Structure 1
Amino acid sequence: MTASLQGIQRRISSTQSTRQITNAMKMVSTAKLAKIQRSGDGYRVYASYLQNVVAHLAKAHLGDVSGTLLETRAAKKIGYLVVTSDRGLVGGYNSTLIKAVMADIQQRQLSKDQLVILAVGGNGADFFKKRGFNVAYEYRGVSDVPDFNEVRGIVKMVTTMYDNEVFDELEVAYQHFVSRISNEVRVVKMLPVTTDDLEAKEENPDTVPPEYDFEPSPEDVLEVVLPQYAQSLIYGSILDAKTAEHAASVTSMSAASDNAEEVINKLRLEFNRARQSAITTEITEITGGMAALED
């Protein structure tokens, strides 16, 4: 076998090994996606009930109840909680999100001195730190299917920083899971909480809100419920982002496997043509040698 044919065979073997790896990674990501979707279904039921309770309280004209999470302050510092992945192999998942965050910052004409970055995920943390942004908090290593106990420290830190006026508004930027083949970038203002936002999220805004007998006072009820509500929003964003990450990984690994298959087919065609050419050359040489002997 000629050196050229051996080289093509080695490339076919190498590409087949790559395809096996990407197929395996696709299967793993598919399993993780299915698991986190089941977890997300449970969270959404809880979040829906919590949102409705707080929305009903808002409709009961309790929007003037004092509380740090309800206070609208002069926006001297804007916080951006940016949720990216720790690893690559997820296509444009991270780059698309970061571009959207930078575009939002530029549109609002915010300087670095006005920004406080809170990064969940290594890609976002590394990006902003390398460019000299104020990364006041970073968290790496969110598990593949995070539960609230794991993320509790993150959401508690975020709300505490807001309470301590490290920033005056919080924008949460993440990839929203739409389907297995589609994600959607979202940059959403989550703090301070406003009664307009609460009423907009109520499932049935036309229904008459229930009557409440408060024990203890409305202020005490909101003091407990509002932090839970704000934390549920942040946790939900992280859970949503992680779901979108797994979907992006499935899509990316599927595309890589398809590309590897295409390369293998092309190499096989190239190998067959090269082998046919080598055989033709050998036949020509043998025929020529026999003709020379006959002469």
Structure 2
Amino acid sequence: MPSLQSLRRKIAAFKNTQKITKAMKMVAAAKLKRSQDRILAARPYAHKMRAVLSNLSRRVNRSSHSLLQKREVRRVEVLVVTSDRGLCGGFNGNIIRKTSEFVRQCEARGLQVTLSIVGRKGRDYFRRRTWAIRQEWTGIFDKLSFEHAMDIGNDLVENFTNGSFDELYVVYNEFKSAIQQRVIVEKLFPIDVAAEFDSSQAEAVTGGSYLYEPEELELLTVLLPKHFQVQAFRILVESAAAEHGARMAAMDGATRNAGQLIKKVTLYYNKTRQAAITKELMDIVGGAEALK
């Protein structure tokens, strides 16, 4: 049976842990609000740019621009977006499992797979595996800015243009709500118009009501690199908000679990203390009876 002193120390430790998890929940909630505002600002622009570029790409010869060319797929790169910190529930675990499953599917098709990783958690996990890591970015979520997206987008565009890989996919957590995130596997290179729209939307997008100046190909040359930078920024902001939501939910659950443990151990402490007091009283009574 544990001593009363050890039980008091355990209760104090649980209370300190509860204070920490409650503070982390409040911090995550504050950061989530800012990330939500950034998503609401970034999503419409990113989606509209994708629609415009999909329209333009259907009007030109795809082979006229390197970022639109469909090649024979031999090498695939997967951009994995995880967090730099833990204590966010299954946020990173879901990303890692989905990435591992997708990479194995690619390898089963005889494709060569490389990884580009955002976040320390993904980097640390895949470093211990046999899959090749081409590039990594860590520590960007503390002060996330569009410059980080430009760096990632420029690197991916350059390597796709140079033929380092033939297709690029990204695996990340899409923010749905504070308690719900969805793991997304999204194809970035090359742009697949058929995947962007269904048949009715594609007809509407390719209607003849749009006039572009300068010409479509010239616009594509300027806008395509910017498009991938914008998409990279949207993905990073989505992932940041999803991380804060997951951490807030995880810390809320941890706070409630700590409260239950405190009640349970406190009840056990009171029972143990009462048993000790009863035993002492019985010893006193027994000693008094022996003196009679």
Contact 1:32 1:145 in 2 (8 A): no
Report the more deviating stretch, 16-25 or 140-149: 140-149
Task: Quote the residue 1:27 is aligned against.
Answer: 26
Distance in 2 (alpha carbons) for counterparts of 1:171 and 1:213: 32
> Residues 164, 50 of structure 1: CA spacing in aligned structure 2 closer, same or farther, 3 A cutoff?
same
The reply on whether 1:215 has 2:213 as its aligned counterpart is: yes
Cα deviation digits, residues 124-169 of structure 1 (max 9, x gap): 1122222132111000012246232232111111111111111110
Task: Quote the residue 2:144 is aligned against.
Answer: 146
Distance in 2 (alpha carbons) for counterparts of 1:267 and 1:133: 46
Contact 1:199 1:205 in 2 (8 A): no
CA apart distance, 1:58: 4.4
Distance in 2 (alpha carbons) for counterparts of 1:113 and 1:140: 27
Partner of 2:267, secondary structure, is: helix
> Residues 268, 23 of structure 1: CA spacing in aligned structure 2 closer, same or farther, 3 A cutoff?
same
Task: Quote the residue 2:278 is aligned against.
Answer: 280
Contact 1:193 1:230 in 2 (8 A): no
Cα deviation digits, residues 206-241 of structure 1 (max 9, x gap): 478463443322210111122222332222222111
CA apart distance, 1:3: 7.6
> Residues 176, 118 of structure 1: CA spacing in aligned structure 2 closer, same or farther, 3 A cutoff?
same
Unaligned 5+ runs, structure 1:
none
Unaligned 5+ runs, structure 2:
none
Distance in 1 (alpha carbons) for counterparts of 2:111 and 2:218: 36
Distance in 2 (alpha carbons) for counterparts of 1:125 and 1:131: 10
Distance in 1 (alpha carbons) for counterparts of 2:199 and 2:66: 21
| Matched letter for residue 24 of structure 2 | M
Report the more deviating stretch, 126-135 or 153-162: 126-135
| Matched letter for residue 4 of structure 1 | S
Cα deviation digits, residues 100-142 of structure 1 (max 9, x gap): 1111122233599811110011111122222132111000012
Contact 1:36 1:145 in 2 (8 A): no
Report the more deviating stretch, 143-152 or 196-205: 196-205
Distance in 2 (alpha carbons) for counterparts of 1:201 and 1:42: 29
Percent of residue pairs bearing the same amino acid type: 33
**Residue of 269, 272, 276 corresponding to 1:271:** 269
Distance in 2 (alpha carbons) for counterparts of 1:208 and 1:109: 36
Distance in 2 (alpha carbons) for counterparts of 1:154 and 1:279: 67
Report the more deviating stretch, 139-148 or 282-291: 139-148
> Residues 203, 241 of structure 1: CA spacing in aligned structure 2 closer, same or farther, 3 A cutoff?
farther
Partner of 2:107, secondary structure, is: coil
CA apart distance, 1:246: 0.9
CA apart distance, 1:292: 1.8
**Residue of 163, 166, 184 corresponding to 1:165:** 163
| Matched letter for residue 192 of structure 1 | P
Contact 1:29 1:250 in 2 (8 A): yes
> Residues 66, 200 of structure 1: CA spacing in aligned structure 2 closer, same or farther, 3 A cutoff?
farther
CA apart distance, 1:63: 5.3
Report the more deviating stretch, 100-109 or 30-39: 100-109
> Residues 111, 39 of structure 1: CA spacing in aligned structure 2 closer, same or farther, 3 A cutoff?
same
**Residue of 95, 114, 117 corresponding to 2:115:** 117
| Residues paired across the two proteins, number | 292
Alignment of 1:121-140 (within 5 A): 121-140=119-138
Partner of 1:170, secondary structure, is: strand
Partner of 2:141, secondary structure, is: coil
Give the TM-score normalised by the residue count of structure 2: 0.91
4+ residue runs of structure 1 moved beyond 4 angstroms?
A: 110-113, 200-210
Task: Quote the residue 1:49 is aligned against.
Answer: 48
CA apart distance, 1:188: 1.3
Task: Quote the residue 1:11 is aligned against.
Answer: 10
> Residues 105, 65 of structure 1: CA spacing in aligned structure 2 closer, same or farther, 3 A cutoff?
closer
Contact 1:121 1:141 in 2 (8 A): yes
**Residue of 74, 80, 83 corresponding to 1:82:** 80
| Matched letter for residue 44 of structure 2 | V
Give the TM-score normalised by the residue count of structure 1: 0.90
Task: Quote the residue 1:262 is aligned against.
Answer: 260
